[in-house]
Structure 1
Amino acid sequence: MSVRVAKSAGFCFGVSRAVELVEKAAQEGRKVATLGPIIHNRHVVDKFQKMGVRVIETPEEALPGETVIIRSHGISRAVYERLEAQKVEIIDATCPFVKRIHTIVSRASEEGRLPVIIGTPTHPEVEGIAGWCGDCRVFQDASELANWVKFEKISRDLAICMVSQTTSTESLWKLCGEFAKKQFTNFKIFDTICKATE
């Protein structure tokens, strides 16, 4: 039997960067907490807990003098502001590709465009993205997008900006993009899928 390892095996760039930032902060002797598990990998989280790194679920759990590290999924603007209010040192380990999406949807909102996010509504990355724009819509696939247009009687002229959760699949993204191009006359589409996902 042969085993082939995908070229994107292991942690993606954003997660590797976040893990390195936690490790560095802990090795420097800082009191460190991560806002949510830094990675969905029990071995890594356990290793960091042995180094004294705490996992907190809300900004209000941060202790005075702690360094709080934001995981690669990112967080919403409101959660970031709550974290700032705790007067702790913040290390933002949000993946740069995710941060780019935050900027895209924020600008779209300012331009009067409706951000349409393709992804899992309850995924921390998607929740974070949605928190950087005003109103938005989140759809898991092209059929949900089509049902929204059909049942809400959405105008073809509606100004939209479409982005994707970085871990969506190319095939799913392609179907959503094709639908949007047929349905809307005033749209911007940004391919925000991470290449490590392919």
Structure 2
Amino acid sequence: MNVKIAKEAGFCFGVKRAMKMAWDELELNSDIYALGPLIHNKQAVQRYEDKGLLTVDTINDIPNDKSVVIRSHGVSRDIYDKANSNNLNIIDTTCPFVKKIHNIVNEFYEKGYKIIIIGDKNHPEIIGINGWCENSALIVKSIDDVNSLNLDNNSKYCLVAQTTLNLELYNEIVNILSKKLDNITFKNTICSATKTRQQAAKELSVDVDCMIVIGGKHSSNTQKLVNICKEQVPTFAIETKEDLDIDKLNKFNLIGVTAGASTPDWIIEDVISFIESL
């Protein structure tokens, strides 16, 4: 049984930056709150909570004058306003690629454009982006969603995408909307790391007997990697080595491994070592 690892796997720049910023703060002060799970990986989050990080659901759960970590997914403008009014020390780990989308959405919204976001309306990144146009965006996740939009050809539109979106879906939606609307600005805000990770996973899945995708069950970019690999070969989605089915793996000779952007190196290494020991 041999293992091949995708050229791009695991922590992306934004997540790595956010995790370092949060850890550095915890080294100085353990009385820190995170607004939502730091990343979509419960094993990694647990290490930070063991260090003293307190995860809460809303800004109202944080006492005044404390420190709050804004995670890499970013938040809406009103969260910053609330944090400032409560005199909170903001540790802003928002991914620069996500922050760029905030700026685009805010700029075009103030110019009178209607905003369209491609992504999952329940994902924290999308919720945050929508908060920079007063929660007025049209949010679509599929071709069917796009076709059901009630569009006004006399209005101006600006389209952005969730950073982890599949590039093929983005291009399909751009093609449809360019035919429906005369005045629309397209902003391809898919993260470059997402593009390269998805391409690397696709290339590897062609050369192996099966794929293992490591990442959190609630991680959007991880689930997209799973779907990409499933189109080529049998694919197993796991969070840790404990999720592996040895009987199923024994049927394959060459196993490919990739991991979502919120998957720490130590979890990837554990999985690879375990497979190689079989």
Q: Identify the TM-score tier after normalising by the shorter chain.
A: over 0.9
Q: Secondary structure at the match of 1:3?
A: strand
Superposed, which structure 2 residues align to 1:46-125 within 5 Å?
46-125=46-125
1:172 partner letter: L
Percent identical pairs in the alignment equals: 36
Q: Secondary structure at the match of 2:2?
A: coil
Q: Secondary structure at the match of 1:115?
A: strand
Indicate the residue corresponding to 2:182 in structure 1: 185
Name the CA distance, whole Å, in 1 between partners of 2:192 and 2:3: 22
Indicate the residue corresponding to 1:31 in structure 2: 31
Q: CA deviation at 1:30?
A: 4.5
Give CA-to-partner distance per residue, 1:83-127, whole Å, 9 cap, x none: 222211001111110010001111111111101000001110000
2:181 partner letter: F
Q: Between 71-80 and 4-13, report the one with greater CA deviation.
A: 4-13
1:158 and 2:155 equivalent?
A: yes
Indicate the residue corresponding to 1:130 in structure 2: 130
Q: CA RMSD in A?
A: 1.3
The TM-score normalised by the length of structure 1 is 0.93
- Choose between structure 1 and 2 for higher RCO, CA contacts under 8 A separated by at least 6 residues: 2
Give CA-to-partner distance per residue, 1:59-104, whole Å, 9 cap, x none: 1111344211100010111122122222110011111100100011
Match of 2:164 among 163, 167, 189: 167
Q: Secondary structure at the match of 1:63?
A: coil
Greater Rg by CA: 2
Conservation of the 8 A alpha-carbon contact between 1:119 and 1:164: yes
Conservation of the 8 A alpha-carbon contact between 2:160 and 2:187: yes
Q: Secondary structure at the match of 1:107?
A: helix
2:175 partner letter: E
Give CA-to-partner distance per residue, 1:133-182, whole Å, 9 cap, x none: 1321000022211111xxx3x23332100000111100110111111111
Name the CA distance, whole Å, in 2 between partners of 1:155 and 1:129: 22
How many residue pairs match? The answer is 194
Indicate the residue corresponding to 1:143 in structure 2: 144
Q: Secondary structure at the match of 1:4?
A: strand
Conservation of the 8 A alpha-carbon contact between 1:97 and 1:194: yes
2:142 partner letter: D
1:155 partner letter: D
Conservation of the 8 A alpha-carbon contact between 1:30 and 1:67: no
Name the CA distance, whole Å, in 2 between partners of 1:118 and 1:16: 25
Name the CA distance, whole Å, in 1 between partners of 2:16 and 2:7: 15
Structure 1 residue runs of 5 or longer lacking an equivalent are none
Name the CA distance, whole Å, in 1 between partners of 2:31 and 2:64: 9
Conservation of the 8 A alpha-carbon contact between 1:22 and 1:69: yes
2:146 partner letter: L
Structure 2 residue runs of 5 or longer lacking an equivalent are 196-278
2:163 partner letter: T
Over 3 Å counting, the alpha-carbon distance change for 1:193 and 1:137 in structure 2 is same
Name the CA distance, whole Å, in 1 between partners of 2:120 and 2:4: 29
1:144 partner letter: D
1:185 partner letter: D
Match of 1:197 among 194, 198, 201: 194
2:88 partner letter: V
